[in-house]
Structure 1
Amino acid sequence: MSNSVADSKQPKSTWRHRLVSFLIAVTLLLSAVGLLLAIWYQYGIGSIVTWLSTIVIVSLLGALLSTRYWRAVTKILYRHKPTDNTVIHKATANKWLIGLYGVIWFVGVGWFFSIEPKQDRDWMAEVDQQVTYKRDATNPNLITLTNVRNFDWHTDTEATAHWDTRTIDLSKLSGIDVTNSYWMGPLIAHTLVSFRFEDDRPLAFSFEIRKEDGESFSALAGFFRRYELSLIAAEERDIIYTRSNARGEQVYLFPISNLQQHEVRSLFESYLTAIDELNNQPAWYNTLTSNCTNIIFYMARIISGDRLPWDYRIWVSGWLPNYLYDVGMLDAAPEQPDQPWSMDTWYERTHINPKSLGFDNLHSTGNSRAFSQKIRQDIPLPPLAHSQSGAEAKAKSTAQASDQTSLNE
């Protein structure tokens, strides 16, 4: 009877208690998985460090889980109802195990954030060189870039390397094109930015992972400081051709509307700043926060401000063109005011794979110009805006027209 009375006095578990216990268990599990993945991607699955870490962390979590059933275990061991002492032992064991796990986890987090990116690894040929630049002493508009990539791609992995030197005139900037290359379904795309010039071929920039020789990309590994960040300046016949022709990705080129030249120039200067920063101090690529799309957005928003509002599609790179369409950065009626384009029309007209099919991609300046012209066939290129008020008003009306077109579909 005394045991029955004692049991009746035990506090009964409520749904709140169960919910808190569940959340604690999920937090412990996710924190352990995150730490183990970081160790795995840094040391490799066959490393003794990986195996020892896995054994220690899994053992601790197993011990913590066993305390959840402490009363049942002690009942089996001692063949009677657990006493107050066993309850005290359970609480003490819980504290020690949680404390030990917390120490190990915080040490692991400290180790993870202490991992520094490097410049001196055995890089793949396509990211082996880093672009640099120099301003003309007498004319600051003239920028000479070295290590502009201009490879001859024969297959998706084989190419003849060419690193060129090219001088461009910032006063001749005439527009920006955003290229989306779809390589993993409709949600994920690689984003590039091309700057157009009057009487000269475009120049493309691309933020990419700096792969080591023999290394391949993993979106999951990109969360765990596995890849350094690289900024490539390249001819379009290299960096776009390799995606549309050599790799068979589906590539679309979108000309950005309602920009003034000073905005285009400011974005180009942002790329020059990024070149300086990466050459002075390497940085990590991150699948979520520092990837090929949102870095561009961060730079562009500094220039354009509220004209580029925050949106979830900044992190869903495959939908970036739809975002540009909705905010008025793609002209809703690029040919005739009374004939607006839907987003489907934009995708159809800007799909460059059929245009680049069979292109003879030989290394020459003339061929670079020809490729850039070919992929822009049937794509109206918008002129630069003359004033900020005019650009903002046109972008607003374009966004409204885009909304109306979407409603009518």
Structure 2
Amino acid sequence: MSLRSVISQILSSLKANPSLSNNTSDNVRQPKNWRHYVVHFLIALTLILSALWLLMLLGYQLGAYSPVTWIATIVIVGLLASVLSVKYRPKLANRIINKTTNKTINQKTTSKWLTGIYMAVWVVGLGWFFSIEPKQNRDWMPEVSQRVSYERDATNPDLITFTNVRNFDWHTDEDATEHWETRTIDMSKLSGIDVSNSYWMGPLIAHTLVSFRFEDERPLAFSFEIRKENGESFSALAGFFRRYELSLIAAEERDIIYTRSNARGEQVYLLPVSHLQQSEVKSLFESYLTAADELNAKPAWYNTLTSNCTNIIFYMARIVSGERLPWDYRIWVSGWLPNYLYDVGMLDANPENGGQPWSMDMWYERAHINPKVRGFDNQANLDLDASANSNEFSAQIRQGIPIPPLADSQLEADAEAKSAAQASSD
């Protein structure tokens, strides 16, 4: 028999038995490499995390004990379990279906259909999430019930009259006598900025407030906060799911800092920002006015990661100071904000001009206001002169802290900040 005849017979037999036609058939499986397992692990992890996100959205929006939440949970978990079992445990899925229906399934087709249904459910949930609108008219807690507004003087735009400046008399962490006041300030008298960090949940998480100092007036503090409803409590996780509206509070320090340091027992640190021109301070103040206008025109959502009490301030400050405030992971780890300011030269490493340089530990020791106001009487002299009480509190929390002067020029501010940053790294 010729060679040509032998090859012809072999090819004929292979056509008759396609399963033997090559060594990559169903009967001879190729070994799977590590990339295959990594890809499938990531797919499974993505599906599980997407389901978890959807379940948390339902829980925070509708309530954990809502019948709708429970029904939706059963549907989502059932769909996810079916997708994963058909995709990754087809024999088990086939055995279960065969026992209940006496039928077998086509793995590829069934997996596509189940995945498509699951993704459709998830996309509906995502669409619902983005359709949830913030509101102005809810049953708000007293301390966030009002919205700050302002008017400029017609003849002098530096004169700003605020309405609904908060000045509560705090008795306990939950009990206070309400006072919403009107206060006029002169922006031409702005003399500096202080940042206060209030630690309420360990060293990584802090609430950040900004106080504006004036040459001949007590400071005015601003705070971005969640606008809690009566009976509502804060949850960092809920802050990812459009659960809280955002609120901007303008307040006296004897209210908004006292309630944290004295009434709630949080650890509060006040840090004067160095190497600023008055134009920068004024621009940041204007940014708060713009934020008040925007929130009054249209409410916005608080977000634990992207729009919280710290990074909103950073976004506004960076518009003012630009590259002097570089992007840094500590913008999202609010408890480390003081260290960030120290490292970029905005918290002076040599605040006493030629004296012993201050380390960050020294700053934390001097900036800690709780020992300074322990036992402060928040009710004293209120009947005689409420502003005197506010002045006294603001003076006490700044004891032992050198107050930096404003820089005369941008060149001077940049040079001093660069020098301070260099000193902090030495």
Normalised to the residue count of structure 1, the TM-score between the two structures is 0.94
- Alpha-carbon distance in structure 2 between the residues aligned to 1:371 and 1:76: 71
Report if aligned partners of 2:85, 2:92 keep a CA contact under 8 Å in 1: no
- Alpha-carbon distance in structure 2 between the residues aligned to 1:126 and 1:23: 45
**Are the structure 2 counterparts of residues 325 and 216 from structure 1 closer, same or farther at C-alpha, using a change threshold of 3 Å?**
same
- Alpha-carbon distance in structure 1 between the residues aligned to 2:389 and 2:425: 39
CA-to-partner distance for each residue in 1:155-209, whole Å, 9 max, x for gaps?
0000000000000000000000000000011111000000000111000000000
Among 48, 69, 83, which residue is 2:89 paired with? 69
Q: SS at 2:208's partner residue?
A: strand
Q: SS at 1:205's partner residue?
A: strand
- Alpha-carbon distance in structure 2 between the residues aligned to 1:328 and 1:366: 34
Residue 43 (str. 1) matches residue 29 (str. 2): no
- Alpha-carbon distance in structure 2 between the residues aligned to 1:16 and 1:326: 41
Determine the structure 1 residue equivalent to 2:247. Answer: 230
Q: Which amino acid aligns with 2:422?
A: Q
1:146-185 to 2 correspondences below 5 Å: 146-185=163-202
Determine the structure 1 residue equivalent to 2:425. Answer: 403
**Are the structure 2 counterparts of residues 393 and 101 from structure 1 closer, same or farther at C-alpha, using a change threshold of 3 Å?**
same
How many residues are aligned here? Answer: 396
1:315-330 to 2 correspondences below 5 Å: 315-330=332-347
CA-to-partner distance for each residue in 1:269-307, whole Å, 9 max, x for gaps?
000000000000000000000000000000000000000
Q: SS at 1:9's partner residue?
A: coil
Residue 299 (str. 1) matches residue 305 (str. 2): no
- Alpha-carbon distance in structure 1 between the residues aligned to 2:97 and 2:143: 64
Determine the structure 2 residue equivalent to 1:368. Answer: 390
Q: CA deviation at 1:65?
A: 2.2
Q: CA deviation at 1:11?
A: 4.1
- Alpha-carbon distance in structure 1 between the residues aligned to 2:83 and 2:204: 39
- Alpha-carbon distance in structure 2 between the residues aligned to 1:338 and 1:353: 26
- Alpha-carbon distance in structure 2 between the residues aligned to 1:394 and 1:208: 33
Q: Which amino acid aligns with 1:309?
A: P
**Are the structure 2 counterparts of residues 16 and 202 from structure 1 closer, same or farther at C-alpha, using a change threshold of 3 Å?**
same
How much identity, in percent, do the aligned residues show?
72
Determine the structure 1 residue equivalent to 2:414. Answer: 392
Q: CA deviation at 1:138?
A: 0.8
Among 247, 258, 267, which residue is 2:264 paired with? 247
Q: Which amino acid aligns with 2:395?
A: Q
Report if aligned partners of 2:227, 2:246 keep a CA contact under 8 Å in 1: yes
Q: SS at 2:27's partner residue?
A: helix
- Alpha-carbon distance in structure 2 between the residues aligned to 1:274 and 1:13: 56
**Are the structure 2 counterparts of residues 366 and 13 from structure 1 closer, same or farther at C-alpha, using a change threshold of 3 Å?**
same
Determine the structure 2 residue equivalent to 1:82. Answer: none
Among 266, 273, 298, which residue is 2:290 paired with? 273
- Alpha-carbon distance in structure 2 between the residues aligned to 1:276 and 1:75: 63
- Alpha-carbon distance in structure 2 between the residues aligned to 1:77 and 1:155: 62
- Alpha-carbon distance in structure 2 between the residues aligned to 1:104 and 1:59: 12
**Are the structure 2 counterparts of residues 76 and 52 from structure 1 closer, same or farther at C-alpha, using a change threshold of 3 Å?**
closer
Q: Which amino acid aligns with 1:161?
A: E
- Alpha-carbon distance in structure 2 between the residues aligned to 1:291 and 1:186: 17
Q: Which amino acid aligns with 1:298?
A: Y
5+ unaligned residues in a row in structure 1: which ranges? 80-84, 405-409
Q: CA deviation at 1:7?
A: 5.5
Residue 52 (str. 1) matches residue 74 (str. 2): no
Determine the structure 2 residue equivalent to 1:25. Answer: 44
- Alpha-carbon distance in structure 1 between the residues aligned to 2:338 and 2:65: 42
**Are the structure 2 counterparts of residues 76 and 162 from structure 1 closer, same or farther at C-alpha, using a change threshold of 3 Å?**
closer
- Alpha-carbon distance in structure 2 between the residues aligned to 1:74 and 1:111: 35
Q: CA deviation at 1:48?
A: 1.5
Residue 90 (str. 1) matches residue 112 (str. 2): no
- CA root-mean-square deviation: 1.7
Determine the structure 2 residue equivalent to 1:209. Answer: 226
**Are the structure 2 counterparts of residues 45 and 251 from structure 1 closer, same or farther at C-alpha, using a change threshold of 3 Å?**
same
Q: CA deviation at 1:339?
A: 1.3
Q: CA deviation at 1:338?
A: 4.3
- Alpha-carbon distance in structure 2 between the residues aligned to 1:368 and 1:308: 32
- Alpha-carbon distance in structure 2 between the residues aligned to 1:285 and 1:295: 10
5+ unaligned residues in a row in structure 2: which ranges? 1-16
Q: SS at 2:134's partner residue?
A: coil
Among 328, 334, 358, which residue is 1:341 paired with? 358
Determine the structure 1 residue equivalent to 2:155. Answer: 138
Q: Which amino acid aligns with 1:37?
A: M
Q: Which amino acid aligns with 1:52?
A: I
